[in-house]
Amino acid sequence: MRADADAEGILNVARLQRDWESGVERFQKTGEMLLAGLDSETLVAIGGLTLEPDTAARALRVRRLYVRPPWRRRGIGRALATALIGNGFAFVDLLTLNAGVPGAAEFWEALGFGRVKHETRTHELARPRGR
């Protein structure tokens, strides 16, 4: 998976690997999680939630979502994102992310995230009222 992401110039999988290996991020705090998408035994997608470090509000940040090219446009990314959103809202009322990859903003906006002007994030999604 890392080779695919690197070949596309997408750095988030390398960051995930570096942070995991160094112990900086293990997705162990309340609400955090790391999900993987598999096709048989092949890792085809990954994505996680971590505590949002840069907000006064209690929030989680969607991080490192990546789907390998041959598995795109099959709903895997949407399924992963939907699971992350659902889990996130079990713990907090606000989800954030940085859509820094071409096409990512449109993907997240289709899932309800709205653009924000902030130094460290591009999009936010508040828990719908009544949930």
**Alpha-carbon gap, residue 80 to 116, rounded angstroms:** 23
**Alpha-carbon gap, residue 95 to 126, rounded angstroms:** 6
* pLDDT (0 to 100) of residue 84: 98
| The CATH fold of domain 2-126 | Aminopeptidase (3.40.630)
Domain borders along the chain are: 2-126
What pLDDT band is residue 58 in, cutting at 50, 70 and 90? confident
* pLDDT (0 to 100) of residue 54: 78
Q: In this predicted model, what pLDDT tens digit does every residue of 26-41 receive, in sequence order?
A: 999 999 999 999 999 9
Angle at 27 between CA 35 and CA 99, to 5 degrees: 65
